[in-house]
Amino acid sequence: MRSFFSRIHESVALAAIFALSVTLHVAWLANLLAHKIPLVRAWFTVSADIGPVSGMYLFTLIVFVLFFGLGVLAWKGKDCSHWRERILWFFMVSLVVFFVMTLPIVYDFGVLVE
């Protein structure tokens, strides 16, 4: 038991960053789909009082937990040193993409065909 806590379980830390990065992508995608497709917006409306945001937040949380679990299982007991830089870059790119794709002028963009 003491050796479990004295070790660094790097798979957990790496999985957290990986799950965060994936969740950011899922979040902007969910927003884009909910904005463009009424069916998706209705599907995300868990609480009618709150609106589609209720489902989107819940979906984001589920995705984070799911990918965190998958990451921990995938990297458990393995040497993660060569994954550190890759996951960090994935995180940085995900952050930038999220900020750009959640700008109203970006996800609201549409082409009118007459």
**Judged by CB, which is closer to another protein: 56, or 114?**
56
Please tell me what DSSP assigns to residue 12.
H
Amino acid identity of residue 69, one-letter, is G
Q: How many CA atoms lie within 13 A of 71 on its CB side?
A: 25
For 19-39, give one letter per residue: b (16+ CB within 10 A) or e.
Answer: bbbbbbbbbbebbbbbeeeee
**Judged by CB, which is closer to another protein: 78, or 114?**
78
Closest distance between another protein and the C-beta of residue 81, in Å?
Answer: 8
The maximal CA–CA distance of the chain, rounded, in angstroms, is: 70
For the window 49-88, what string marks contact with another protein as x by the rule CB under 8 A?
xx--xx--x--x---x----------------x--xx--x
Among 1, 2, 4, 8, binds another protein (CB under 8 A): 8
CB 56 within 8 A of CB 44: yes
Closest distance between another protein and the C-beta of residue 53, in Å?
Answer: 5
CA 87, chain centre distance (Å): 13
Residues binding another protein (CB under 8 A): 8-10, 12-13, 16-17, 19-20, 23-24, 27-28, 31, 49-50, 53-54, 57, 60, 64, 81, 84-85, 88, 91-92, 95, 98-99, 102-104, 108
